[in-house]
Structure 1
Amino acid sequence: MSTQNDDEKEDTSGRPTKAVVGSHRDEEEVFGKAYDPRIVRRIWSFVKPYQGRIFISVAAVLVFTLTQLAIPLVIRYAIDHGMAAGRLDRSVMISATGAFAVIILINYAASYVQESVVGKVAENVLSDLRRAMFSHLQRVSLSFMDKTEVGRLMSRLQGDVNSMQEFLETSVMSVGDIVLLFGIVSVLLWLDFRLGLLTLSTMPVLFIVRLFWLPRAKVAFMAAHETNSIANGALAEGIHGVRTVQSLERQHVNFDLYDEKVLANLRAHLRSAKYAQVMVPIVDTLTGVAMATVIVVGGSMVLSHSLDVGIMVAFLFYIQRFFDPIRSLTMQYSVMQRAMASGQRISEVLDVPVDVSDKDGAVKLSRDMDGSVEFRNVTFGYRQNLPVLKNVSFRVNPGETVALVGPTGSGKSSSMALVHRFYDVWSGQVLVGGHDVRDLTQDSLGEQVAMVLQEPFLFSGSVLENIRYHKTVATREEVVRAAQAVGAHDFIEHLPNGYDTELEQRGGNLSLGQRQLISFARALVADAKILVLDEATASIDSYTEMLIQKALVKLLEGRTGLVIAHRLATIRGADRIIVLQNGEIVESGNHEQLMERKGLYARLYNMNYASFDDISEGELELDAAVGKAT
């Protein structure tokens, strides 16, 4: 399919272009509900295969929490019974020391099991999520991709999956935090009810502070995430467009614009850091108040012999740990909010409907099919009530080369997409080998229809792997023969490692013409019955075009060819030329026949235009009107 500019609202074919982020208001909120049952059920579907390990890790967390609660009690026992009446009871101290050692060992083992099991489960779920999303995105219909900025989509999904991983790793720990919090409260009240109530009297202050702190902190954290996204977007745009920036001497202007976004990001992060840090001294102060209460009140009770020294010491240990689960659960609350929002976006991607899929009983297209292509009264468009093709009918006979020409938006590329069944027609039929493409399996149709696009896409890997990308079982000899046939062999041999040369991203270490020749070799290796060339010579130099024209002769031998070309000179040798305008066929015939008719094609060709794209819309409409009048 021809490439669209992101800055266009809609191309002339009526196809919606990809959404472009114009403001940070377009970004999804980074925080959602603290708990969304629907999202949790969806996440659980990925966690369920590992639920046995989850239960093991929860059990380990509970054991770890119980050991945390037990340690101060052992210390209390050692003080009150091993040092009673001012003398040291060695048997009690030995028992306490042994119990302490056993608890420490159990504590270590439980912590190790919990950390290792949860970590592995989270990594497995992370991997399963990514595989599920990648698999689904490989199968979603192009109508979804037409409306979606893929780079931004994938970038966001990677962050969302990482949020889910963070949630899984911390959610099990939150079970332990809750048990520890209630356990400490219970033990304090059990050890001494009065002192326990007095110690916990600081809790209402913390809840009141959090009541006012949480809403403001949430807004600050959201602003920090939003400005961070904006700054990263500006950074990526500046890096990707560095050639244009330097050619237009925009470095200083771009830096000022980026600097403004970075400063806004800095201010937002400083504000969020202030809210994040303000709770630390408050919690520390409340901890100090609680400990002072225990020391003063508990100390006086010890002196009055109404409280054992060991109980007071145990109180101090518990108070030190009391605010840790509160702080941890506060962080977990924000993690859950991010996870719910991330889970929502992940679910939206996984739930994108696959509009084009094999129907029940779909037929596999045989290799022995004749290679014919036929359009029967085809009407199709990308947006409702805006048809791109209007009741189009034509037939391409086996082995025939047919060129489709016409101005931008006339429906050429859309016709090619329908042959490969990237989309389904609104009405009518597209037949390949005598079969409606909707009755065929997509895999078998793809094996018999090879496409070469205007902008060849090469993948990471060697030249050899790219040429046999469509047919991975092809031998090295077949690859070399294909490269020789299309004129690519010589320049490949001059690469550092020949056919084993590793290509940079999207083949960046090759020229556009070289990438196109490799894509031609790939199409030849595919050995498909039908070859579709979608403006494959539109963006190359004249010399490379000459090489490709020679390669086309070899490429089209024994194959049905469908060729789109804006340059009129490149399709003179086609068996038949179909002229499209506004989604309708206005002329059909070979070059000589069309010239003799002196219709639209002849007039445009005689104007010495190199391409239909060179013609203004006014001239085109005038010529069409003249053609109808004659």
Structure 2
Amino acid sequence: MTKQTEEKYVSPHVKRFYYPQETAVEKPFNWRQMARLLNYLKPYAKTILPKALFAMFINMIVRLFVPIMIGQYVIEQAIAQSDVTLLTQFIILIGVLYLANYIANRYRIKLVNILGQRIIYDLRMQLFSHVQRLSHSFFDKRSAGSILVRILNDVNSLQELFTNGIINLLMDVAMLTGIVVILLILSPQLALAILVILPIMFYISTKLRRRIRRSWQQVRIQKSKLNSHLNESIQGIRITQSFSQEKENTEYFNGVNTDNYEKERIAMKKSAFFGPFVEMSNAIGTVILISFGSTLIINEQVGIGTFVTFAFYLGMFWEPISRLGQIYNQLLVAMASSERIFEFLDEQPNVYEKPDAKSFEDMQGDIKFDHVKFSYDDDRVALHEIDINIHAGQTVALVGHTGSGKSTIANLISRFYDPTNGSVRIDGHDLRDMRLDSLRQNISVVLQDTFIFSGSIMENIRFGRPDATDEEVKDAAKVVGAHEFILRLGEGYQTEVEERGNILSAGERQLLSFARALLANPRILILDEATASIDTEAEMKIQEALRKLLKGRTAIMIAHRLSTIREADNIIVLEHGRILEQGNHDELIEQEGEYYHLVRSQFEMLEAL
């Protein structure tokens, strides 16, 4: 679809959506990629696949043999000689062959469906598992909707190829080869006359190949955009309604949906051309058979039985040709989808484990930042050569304006990113030398926007430690003050919460995240604005719970609400990725520096209220 055509459907409000970074690219058919896709057949090469191929072979042999029997034996012998007994025998034999064909065909369909579903299962599991292990930088650059499209839509697009496409391709190629060979043996003249249309068909299909493949690439890209917008709209529905932007959002979606409709309509239109063309080829072949075949019969160069055999094979010939067109379309769709799937599978984590990575045997919790510099990209330096020493059991607070580098420090401790320069060490070990699971099993992170999974309250608290008993879960909830509100819910700890815990208040979700962190029993605890969603009364309860939670643990607290960090052993004040000052609360107040002014401004704001 041209840009002018797009303008017809899209309002000025939504035009910004239509020039994505992801674009369809003209590429030749990638045989290496196809071979990689077929590798997913290997686990079944000695079990399901041979059985399906055997059933296909029986099916093909019966279909190739029956026309010869009808033309050369039933007509040329039994009918020509008026031999009723022989005719009866041939009819019974043909019936038995068709019964065998039915059984083999049913068995083949069952096997290829099982094969296809298992391959799709394997591929989706591999893709999901791989995405789970990718670094945070991967998700920073992609919307959730575009990732969902790869795991759901693009994998589903391969289902038809593995369920029917590959086996049908083999069967149809073998059928066509067998038919051509038999026709050339029976009558080379008539066979060549009928098959003269094939070079023309091949030429036209070759011309269409690139255009069809590009169209399906564009469909995949547009579906990714559509899903991204849907995901964003659903996640942000409260903001949309609070600003009364339903009409504008619907208009926005209309533009996206219309473009998706147009892309798919064009792709389907190009793909559907094969069907009518095959029908036309069949008609031309039939005309040639009747006209030229009649001449050969009159001249006694072929018999009536051979003519009938040709008629049978001609009907059988264009059926696999038509299916090959459909299979070719499936291949084009599979190529467009597999390109996108393999793009994700080939993505390597920026944060990776060394082959000889070690595990933390008994983490103490000493943390050291040694001349650490970190950049999210070339234009965004988040940390400038900072040095931090945090002793085991200390509570350290990070203070500063938005963008000062507080959350970046927390992310480096959990090794969600690696420093650009310098090193982050725990107990003297560079984190790049350690196993990720060994590190993160000793760290719990509590965020301001805590995530609650669909499931029960019990399952959510137990998330970081699946083997915890029910009593241990309840004990953790009691410590952080969540036990009381949980009991007030309909089914207590077995209450099912919806996606993101929408039936709970922000404060209640935060209390659950505290219980989850406590139950995991970490050596290092990171609290990133963890009390921001808690009201003042609840915060007073949590402060006492935090004293118990932090005892004996290294804690990093990030807070704008300075009242929560007064008792921290060390307070680090950051500004644009640099350390301005550090010390405990009393020391920093005495210095009357940046921290002093931050405390004073918050105190004045509270007085004004």
Report the TM-score, using the length of structure 1 for normalisation: 0.85
1:84 aligns to what? Answer: 80
Residues 281 and 335 (structure 1 numbering): CA distance in 2 closer, same or farther, change over 3 Å? closer
Of stretches 181-190 and 378-387 in structure 1, the one that deviates more from structure 2 is 378-387
2:31 aligns to what? Answer: 36
Residues 149 and 223 in structure 2, CA contact (< 8 A), matched pair in contact too: no
1:308 aligns to what? Answer: 303
Name the SS for the 1:254 alignment partner.
helix
Residues 462 and 502 in structure 1, CA contact (< 8 A), matched pair in contact too: yes
Summarize the alignment of residues 600-619 of structure 1 with structure 2, pairs less than 5 Å apart.
600-608=594-602
Distance in 1, matches of 2:263 and 2:585, equals: 65
Q: 1:366 aligns with which of 361, 364, 367?
A: 361
Residues 249 and 583 (structure 1 numbering): CA distance in 2 closer, same or farther, change over 3 Å? closer
Summarize the alignment of residues 165-564 of structure 1 with structure 2, pairs less than 5 Å apart.
165-169=159-163, 170-207=165-202, 209-210=204-205, 230-231=225-226, 233-299=228-294, 301-302=296-297, 305-367=300-362, 369-384=363-378, 386-564=380-558
Residues 404 and 412 in structure 1, CA contact (< 8 A), matched pair in contact too: yes
For residues 16-39 of structure 1, give each alpha carbon's deviation from its aligned partner in whole angstroms, at most 9, with x where no partner exists: xxxxx94354344398543422x1
Residues 378 and 593 (structure 1 numbering): CA distance in 2 closer, same or farther, change over 3 Å? same
Residues 403 and 565 in structure 1, CA contact (< 8 A), matched pair in contact too: yes
Residues 33 and 337 in structure 1, CA contact (< 8 A), matched pair in contact too: no
Residues 36 and 340 in structure 1, CA contact (< 8 A), matched pair in contact too: no
Residues 34 and 336 in structure 1, CA contact (< 8 A), matched pair in contact too: no
Residues 33 and 341 in structure 1, CA contact (< 8 A), matched pair in contact too: no
2:96 aligns to what? Answer: 102
Name the SS for the 1:128 alignment partner.
helix
Residues 433 and 262 (structure 1 numbering): CA distance in 2 closer, same or farther, change over 3 Å? closer
Residues 254 and 406 (structure 1 numbering): CA distance in 2 closer, same or farther, change over 3 Å? closer
Q: 1:148 aligns with which of 117, 142, 153?
A: 142
2:3 aligns to what? Answer: none
Report the residue type matching 1:177 in the other structure. D
Residues 378 and 426 in structure 1, CA contact (< 8 A), matched pair in contact too: yes
CA-CA distance at 1:392 after TM superposition: 1.9
Residues 217 and 336 in structure 2, CA contact (< 8 A), matched pair in contact too: no
Residues 150 and 341 in structure 2, CA contact (< 8 A), matched pair in contact too: no
For residues 236-274 of structure 1, give each alpha carbon's deviation from its aligned partner in whole angstroms, at most 9, with x where no partner exists: 544444333333333333334434444455455555554
Residues 154 and 340 in structure 2, CA contact (< 8 A), matched pair in contact too: yes
Report the residue type matching 1:99 in the other structure. L
How many aligned residue pairs are there?
Answer: 587
Residues 31 and 334 in structure 1, CA contact (< 8 A), matched pair in contact too: no
Distance in 2, matches of 1:191 and 1:182, equals: 14
Name the SS for the 1:381 alignment partner.
strand
CA-CA distance at 1:567 after TM superposition: 1.6
For residues 377-419 of structure 1, give each alpha carbon's deviation from its aligned partner in whole angstroms, at most 9, with x where no partner exists: 3222322475422222232223221111011222211111222
Residues 367 and 427 in structure 2, CA contact (< 8 A), matched pair in contact too: yes
For residues 192-220 of structure 1, give each alpha carbon's deviation from its aligned partner in whole angstroms, at most 9, with x where no partner exists: 22222332334355445546655665566
Q: 1:73 aligns with which of 60, 68, 73?
A: 68
CA-CA distance at 1:494 after TM superposition: 1.5
Q: Identity of paired residues, percent?
A: 38
Name the SS for the 1:438 alignment partner.
helix
Unaligned segments of structure 2, at least 5 residues: 1-15
Residues 52 and 111 in structure 2, CA contact (< 8 A), matched pair in contact too: yes
Residues 372 and 384 in structure 2, CA contact (< 8 A), matched pair in contact too: yes
Residues 394 and 555 in structure 2, CA contact (< 8 A), matched pair in contact too: yes
CA-CA distance at 1:521 after TM superposition: 0.2
RMSD: 2.8
CA-CA distance at 1:129 after TM superposition: 1.7
1:619 aligns to what? Answer: none
Report the residue type matching 1:442 in the other structure. L
Report the residue type matching 1:523 in the other structure. A
Distance in 2, matches of 1:60 and 1:595, equals: 84
Report the residue type matching 2:52 in the other structure. S
For residues 562-608 of structure 1, give each alpha carbon's deviation from its aligned partner in whole angstroms, at most 9, with x where no partner exists: 10101222212222211111222211111111111111111222123
Q: 1:163 aligns with which of 157, 166, 174?
A: 157
Residues 220 and 337 in structure 2, CA contact (< 8 A), matched pair in contact too: no
2:8 aligns to what? Answer: none
Distance in 1, matches of 2:590 and 2:116, equals: 71
Residues 458 and 507 in structure 1, CA contact (< 8 A), matched pair in contact too: yes
Report the residue type matching 1:601 in the other structure. Y
Distance in 2, matches of 1:545 and 1:290, equals: 84
Residues 216 and 336 in structure 2, CA contact (< 8 A), matched pair in contact too: no
Distance in 2, matches of 1:148 and 1:536, equals: 26
Report the residue type matching 2:600 in the other structure. N
For residues 104-153 of structure 1, give each alpha carbon's deviation from its aligned partner in whole angstroms, at most 9, with x where no partner exists: 23322332343233222222222222222222222222232322324312
Report the residue type matching 2:246 in the other structure. Q
Residues 223 and 585 (structure 1 numbering): CA distance in 2 closer, same or farther, change over 3 Å? closer
Unaligned segments of structure 1, at least 5 residues: 1-20, 612-630
Distance in 2, matches of 1:187 and 1:605, equals: 93
For residues 451-502 of structure 1, give each alpha carbon's deviation from its aligned partner in whole angstroms, at most 9, with x where no partner exists: 1112111222211111111111111111111101111111111122111112
Report the TM-score, using the length of structure 2 for normalisation: 0.88
CA-CA distance at 1:297 after TM superposition: 4.0
